[in-house]
Each structure stands twice: as C-alpha cells, then as structure tokens.
Amino acid sequence: MRRISSSVLLRTLSAARGGAVSFSVPNRFLQVALYGSSSGGARAHRRWWFLGPFTGASLGVAGALATAVATTSAYQEVFAKEPPPPEALPNDVVLFQYEACPFCNKVKAYLDYYDIPYKVVEVNPLSKKEIKWSEYKKVPILMVDGEQLNDSSAIIDILGEKIMSKEKAGEDDEETKWRRWVDNHLVHVLSPNIYRNTSEALESFDYITSNGNFSFTEKITVKYAGAAAMYFVSKNLKKKYNITDERAALYEAAETWVDALNGREFLGGSKPNLADLAVFGVLRPIRYLRAGKDMVEHTRIGDWYSRMESVVGESARVKA
C-alpha cells in the first residue's frame, strides 16, 4: 500500500477531534496501525487491559485512522494514473540530461507520470562529451527508438502525439498558456533564488555535484568555483528579469499558480495536465533546497505539490 498522505491523515484526525489536532502520534504507532496487526492471545488481552483507561481515546484514534485509510484509498483511486497502452510504448528511451536542470526534470515528470521507462545519461556540463555526437548541444535530448527529440516542450508534445495519441492543445488553451508561463517566467525566478547568497549557492552546487557526472577533482572545483560564479550570475539575472526581491518573486509565482488552479485539485481538474507536470517538474530540483522549503512554508502551493508527488509516484527510470 502506498504511503498515506499526511495532509489526508491530519485532516481526518482533525475531524475526529472536532477540528483540532492537539496531540502527536509516534511514527511507529502509525506504521503498526496502518500496515500491520498484532498477534492474538493473552498478550493481546493484557495489552488492551493496559489501555483500558484510554479505550475511548484509543478507539477514537483507531476509527480516525481507519477512516484515513479509506479516504486515502478513494484519494488514490480518484488520482489514479492513465498509463499508455503497452503496444504504444517505445522500446528504447534515453534521456541525456543534467540532474538539476529544470527543463530535464520537466521531461522526467512527464515520463514518470505516464510510466514510460527510460534510461538516463548524465552529461558532464564542462566537457559535454556525452553529446558530442549531436549537433544540438543543449539538454534535454531524448532518444526514442533511435529518433532524436530536442527541447523540453517539443519533446513532450511529440511524445503526447506518438504515445498518448493526444493532439497538441490550441494556442489559446489554458493548458498552453500556463506551459508558456513555466518556460517564460517560472524558470527565470529559480536561479536568483537558489543562488541568492553564498550559503544557498553552495547548497545548490552540493546537490548538483552530488548528482551530476563529475570526477572527484571536478566536483571540488565545480562546487566552489561554480557556486561563486552563479552567485554573481544570479545578480545579473535579477536585473535582466526585473526581479528586485527574489524570494518575493518566487512566492508570487507560487501564489499565481495556486490562483490559476481556482479551487481545483489540478489545473487539469481531477488529473494533472501538461501544465501541472511542467510546474511540478521545474520545481522538483529545488523543492528540498532552502528556496523550495521557504516557498512551501510561505505560500499555499504545498498541498498541490504533495498531490503531484503522490500522483506522479515512483520514477520510471531504468537503472543501467
């Protein structure tokens, strides 16, 4: 069984307590209550005897947990994925990427959501030796059964037509509008935030070098030289995109997206559409950096992001 959404659980417990959660439940208790059962016999009898004074509270919590399980089951059913038909799946999909690249993560969010298996080739951003064979020198590059696809949005459109048999939405469509917003606005807000100061720049490059294709010497060089360089680059990006307060710009972008949802679970309604996947994809590399944590803490985007994490699920990446 998939992990129960903490927001669903807390809302259910809150309802059981009249709208207020005023106690904490240890993780071990939740694991036993939700995933396991105790053996019977005398020991079980003694256990319930010990809990006697707290029977009312225990049964109340147990009932709330049972409701949470049922609620989560319904939650997962509503947000169940729609994988492509097996006969439509390509035989060989290879993504050439940088692990922290927002555009690469946009493509991965699409592949993960639709359970399209793919291999990853991590490109060294210094030498780019892994894509020397290609005239196109940017990432992502997606090879699909030997055919080269470039540019994240174009890649997703082509995959949609070939694998999902979906026509590209019109230029005035809501989905198209917000996909453009991701490429033309949201991504430009990210760099000034993750390189906002020296400590955050080092945090970001620690993530980049830990997940990227670097030798030991390159890791050390890139982490410190890269962090210093990107700190100053981020200042130029602020000027280029007229950003005066990078955190305020990030929070405003997050709130703009939540407003666009207009009370819906996803922009696509009961299921994510390509705009949902695009926003989720570009935010995924920063979610657990300082900038991403601040964004979730200070805006309303957290619930939507948690829903997306749940529905996108495990990576479809095939380990080499």
Tally the residues of the chain: 320
What 3-state DSSP class applies to 10? Answer: helix
Quote the CA–CA distance of 126 and 32 in Å, as a whole number: 49
In sequence order, what are the residues at sequence separation of 6 or more whose Cβ sits closer than 8 angstroms to the Cβ of residue 56?
none
75, 96, 103, 305: the catalytic one is 103
What 3-state DSSP class applies to 120? Answer: strand
User: 231 catalytic, yes or no?
Assistant: no
User: 305 catalytic, yes or no?
Assistant: no
Bridge-based pairing of strands 93-97 and 141-144 is antiparallel
Phi and psi angles of residue 147, each rounded to the nearest 5 degrees, phi first: -95, 130
User: 207 catalytic, yes or no?
Assistant: no
**CA R_g for the chain:** 23
75, 96, 101, 280: the catalytic one is 101
75, 98, 114, 214: the catalytic one is 98
96, 104, 110, 118: the catalytic one is 104
User: For 105, how many CA atoms within 13 A lie in the half-sphere containing its CB?
Assistant: 17
User: 280 catalytic, yes or no?
Assistant: no
Q: Which residues of 194-224 are buried (b: 16+ CB within 10 A; e: fewer)?
A: bbbeeebbbbbbebbbeebbbeeebbeebbe
Helix axis angle, 187-194 to 290-298, nearest 10°: 120
What 3-state DSSP class applies to 168? Answer: coil
Around Cβ 263, how many Cβ atoms within 10 Å?
A: 6
Which residues are known catalytic residues?
A: 98, 101, 103-104
